[in-house]
Amino acid sequence: MSNDRPGKVRMMQGNQACAEGAIAAGCRFFAGYPITPSSEIAENLSVMLPRLGGKFIQMEDEMAAMGAIIGAALTGQKSMTATSGPGFSLKQENIGYAGMAEVPCVIVNVMRGGPSTGMPTLPAQMDVQQARWGAHGDRGVIALTAKSAQETYEQTIRAFNLAEKFMTPVILLIDEITGHTTEKVIIPDASDIEIVHRKKPDEDPENYLPYRLTDECVPILAPFGTGYRYNVTGLCHNETGFPTNDSHDIQCLIERLTRKIEMYEDDIIRNNELMLEDAEIGVFAYGSVARTAQAVVRMCREEGIKVGLLEPKVLWPFPAKAVFAMAQKVRAIVVPELNLGQMAREVSLASECRVPVHKLGRVDGRPIPPQQLVEKIREVV
Amino acid sequence: MDRYDVRLSGSGGQGLILAGKILAEAAAIYDGRNAVQTQSYGPEARGGASKAEVVIKDGEIDYPKAMDLDLLLSLTQESCTKYSGDLKEDGIMIVDSEIVKYPPEGSFKLYAAPITSIAANKIGKIVVTNIVALGILSKIAGVVTEESMRKAILARVPKGTEEINMKAFDEGWKTGEELLAE
């Protein structure tokens, strides 16, 4: 069998790769409520977790599932839920709570078409702005994406690592195509996978302050049940975790919730670039649409049109520097996506009007085939 | 080899998504090439036009959905009418002869066999229609080895049904041979 990388090769769909990635990352608690096209994540974990001594709970609804993983995460467990658009909307209040209380957890959204119950079985990328701004209030957000089963496996592990490192809920956005595409996944040896665990406090329980201000800006929350007692709240709080109305404490807290992601942006953001060096047309594409774009780069170059691809692996924080660098090189940017321009808007902002940004939005529940993007690029040229 | 795009179409519940997974696993795991399998179905659990697609290639597969079809299998008239538009001029169409009464016209090669009846009457279980279809398809297409198909089927079907599924595959393979000889 042809295999140029070590590890086990298996055929699996993106959703199963997500479940496998979660287990590899150390996830031992899942709470969820089934919803197409994400259900196979729960289905797989309902079998895998009990075998490993983990817990799987099907909750009464999506809100309760989000609440359950916050509770489990506070005991030190790596915890996850998975859903799709309508469930993602319902989880927002508790996602905001996890952001405010700085509880690390992973929320997977296998995107389908909306608004409302929309298109249960058909792909879309309509939740990319909701991932950033879906919960009220100001705070930094980390949201990853993936275009294949292999990347879904790797990005699920990374989502846990980033959650633990920055003590924040991390969102993984894939779409129905990625979730339901079965293809080869190379599972590395466990010793080759980087796993991050949250820091533990080194002071004794009497002197412990859960939200102590440090230069790193990331709190150290002791797992409940290890002798440390502290308060967790969605209200603005001070270093003790108890609510406060002190203006200085509040200003510090809210600024820190944004700064703790912003100051690490260069570590968090990752992009793939394909033939951008000499490109005249830049394509910005993510998730399953990036696969269309890869094919299109090849097809256009055969026609003599110099096209390059910027493919973000992290949607939030937004890769503004990479977009700006691309905008300085190319004559125009094309943004194909399965919505009506949600990320094209960010690309326009980040390119600072250097070049025109053209949207190609498809919202009929069908993928963007390479031919459609090629035609758009010809039009732009 | 460049892309080989296959679409398996019929009605929800006929096991075409499983058939697609088996075909993809035969190519990718047992033949050691690359394959991706995708699917499209309606919100209903049974009925409705359903399709599974498999792309087989030696190198990396970018766009995962089938584009220009090298092979289309249709087990219902509705799916044949709805999903045959992308078939290449020199492509292959395999239909259930008793159900697809009006295959579209074109320059592609048409192979018709009573696939559902073979499963129901020769094997005695209509549920193995998908495996009979895989036997016919793999013989006619010739892109996946027979041995790999058998291994992939055995790895996927429920325990205790190996024998009946192998019988279904044999019957399909034989039908494929007859169709090619015609």
Interaxial angle between packed helices B146-156 and B16-25, expressed in degrees from 0 to 180 and rounded to the nearest 10: 130
* Residue A176 clears pLDDT 70, i.e. is over it: yes
Cβ–Cβ contact B67 with A under 8 A: yes
Return d(Cα A108, Cα A56) in angstroms, integer. Answer: 15
CATH at B51: 3.40.920.10
Identify from B40, B41, B54, B57 which residue to disrupt to test chain A contact, counting A C-beta atoms within 10 A and taking the largest count. Answer: B40
Say if A225 falls within a structural domain: no
Let me know if residue A294 belongs to a domain. Answer: yes
Mean pLDDT of A184-204: 96
Q: Which residues in chain A are closer than 8 Å to B59, comparing Cβ atoms?
A: none
Evaluate if residue B124 carries a pLDDT over 50: yes
B76: containing domain? 4-181
The answer on A159 and A284 residing in a single domain is no
Domain endpoint, select from A137, A159, A192: A192
Residues of B in contact with A122 (CB under 8 A): 40
Q: Are residues A77 and A177 in the same domain?
A: yes
Q: Flag the least confident range among B3-17, B39-53, B165-179.
A: B39-53
The residue segments making up the domain with residue A22 are: 8-192
A374 CA: distance to closest CA in chain B (Å): 13
Query: CA of B52: which chain A residue's CA is closest?
Result: A181
Q: Which pLDDT score is estimated for B41? A: 72
Report if residue A261 sits inside a domain: no
State which residue of chain A sits closest to B25, comparing Cα positions: A11
Which residues of chain B does A10 touch, with a Cβ-Cβ cutoff of 8 Å? 29
Question: What confidence category does residue A3 fall into, taking pLDDT thresholds of 50, 70 and 90?
Answer: very low
Write down which residue in A128, A157, A192 finishes a domain.
A192
**For A33, what's the count of Cα atoms within 13 Å in the CB-facing half-sphere?**
17
Q: What is the total count of domains within chain A?
A: 2
Summarize the confidence of residues B75-103 as an average pLDDT.
96
The answer to whether residue A352 sits within a structural domain is yes
| Percentage of chain A lying above the pLDDT 70 cut | 98
Three state DSSP letters for chain A: CCCCCCCEEEEEEHHHHHHHHHHHHCEEEEEECCCCCCHHHHHHHHHHHHHCCCEEEECCCHHHHHHHHHHHHHCCCEEEEEECHHHHHHHHHHHHHHHHHCCCEEEEEEEEECCCCCEEEEECCCCHHHHHHCCCCCCCCEEEECCCHHHHHHHHHHHHHHHHHHCCEEEEEEEHHHHHCEEEEEECCHHHCCCCCCCCCCCCHHHCCCCCCCCCCCCCCCCCCCCCCCCCCCCCECCCCCECCCHHHHHHHHHHHHHHHHCCHHHHCCEEEECCCCCCEEEECCCCHHHHHHHHHHHHHHHCCCEEEEEECEEECCCHHHHHHHHHHCCEEEEEECCCCHHHHHHHHHHCCCCCEEEEECCCCCCCCHHHHHHHHHHHC
In this model, does residue A1 exceed pLDDT 70?
Answer: no
Read off the pLDDT of each residue in A182-189 and give the average, rounded to a whole number: 95
The minimal CB distance from A291 to the residues B29, B41, B64 is found for B64
Asked whether residue A48 falls in the same domain as residue A160, the answer is yes
pLDDT tens digit sequence for A271-321: 999 999 999 999 999 999 999 999 999 999 999 999 999 999 999 999 999
> Which residues of B, range 101-130, sit inside 8 Å of A by Cβ?
none
Specify if A214 maps to a domain. Answer: no
B39 in contact with A at a CB cutoff of 8 Å?
yes
Which among A170, A192, A214 is the end of a domain?
A192
Residues A207-229, mean pLDDT to the nearest whole number: 96
pLDDT at A227: 96
A347, with CB counted inside 10 A (0-12, 13-18, 19+), is buried
Residue range A233-247, pLDDT digits in tens: 999 999 999 999 999
Decide if B33 and A2 are in contact by the 8 Å CB cutoff: yes
Q: Are residues A180 and A296 in the same domain?
A: no
Residues A32 and A169 in one domain: yes
Domain match, A183 and A54 both: yes
> Residue A2 has what pLDDT?
38
* CATH code of the domain in which A62 resides: 3.40.50.970
Q: Is B35 on the interface with A (CB under 8 A)?
A: yes
**Per-residue pLDDT at A43:** 98
Of residues A3, A122, A367, nearest to B65 (C-beta): A367
pLDDT at res. B1: 65
Give the pLDDT confidence score for residue B27 in this predicted structure: 96
Report CA torsion sign: A364, B92, B28, A372. negative
Provide the CATH number for the domain around residue A281. Answer: 3.40.50.920
In a domain, A297, yes or no: yes
Q: What are B133-174's pLDDT values in tens digits? A: 999 999 999 999 999 999 999 999 999 999 999 999 999 999
- Interface contact B29-A11, CB threshold 8 A: yes
How confident is residue A8, by pLDDT bands cut at 50, 70 and 90? confident
Q: Does A152 touch chain B (CB under 8 A)?
A: no
pLDDT, mean of residues A251-260 = 98
CA distance B175 to B135: 8
pLDDT band at A7 (very low <50, low <70, confident <90, very high): low
Classify residue A199: in a domain, yes or no.
no
Res. B48 pLDDT band, cuts 50 70 90: confident
Has residue A192 got a pLDDT over 90? yes
| pLDDT at residue B39, rounded to an integer | 84
| Contact flag A120-B25 (C-beta cutoff 8 Å) | no
A283 with A371, same domain: the answer is yes
Question: Average model confidence (pLDDT) for chain B?
Answer: 94
- The pLDDT, as a whole number, for residue B13 is 86
Q: By CB neighbour count within 10 A (0-12 exposed, 13-18 middle, 19+ buried), where does B120 fall?
A: middle
Query: Do residues A186 and A307 share a domain?
Result: no
Number of domains in chain B: 1
Q: What is the ipTM of this complex?
A: 0.90
| Banded pLDDT at B2 (limits 50, 70, 90) | confident
- On whether both A86 and A182 belong to a single domain, the answer is yes
- The pLDDT value recorded for residue B45 is 59
Inter-chain contact A294–B62, Cβ cutoff 8 Å? yes
Find chain B residues with C-beta within 8 A of A120's C-beta. Answer: 43
Residues of A in contact with B61 (CB under 8 A): 183
Chain pair A-B, CB pairs under 8 angstroms: 65
Please report whether residue A138 resides in a domain.
Answer: yes
Q: How confident is the model at residue A5 (pLDDT cuts 50, 70, 90)?
A: very low
Tokens of A319: 């890769």
Q: Does A376 touch chain B (CB under 8 A)?
A: no
Q: Which residue of B has its CA nearest to A14?
A: B38
Output the pLDDT for position A4. 42
Nearest chain A residue to B50 by CA: give it: A121
Same-domain pairing of A142 and A291: no
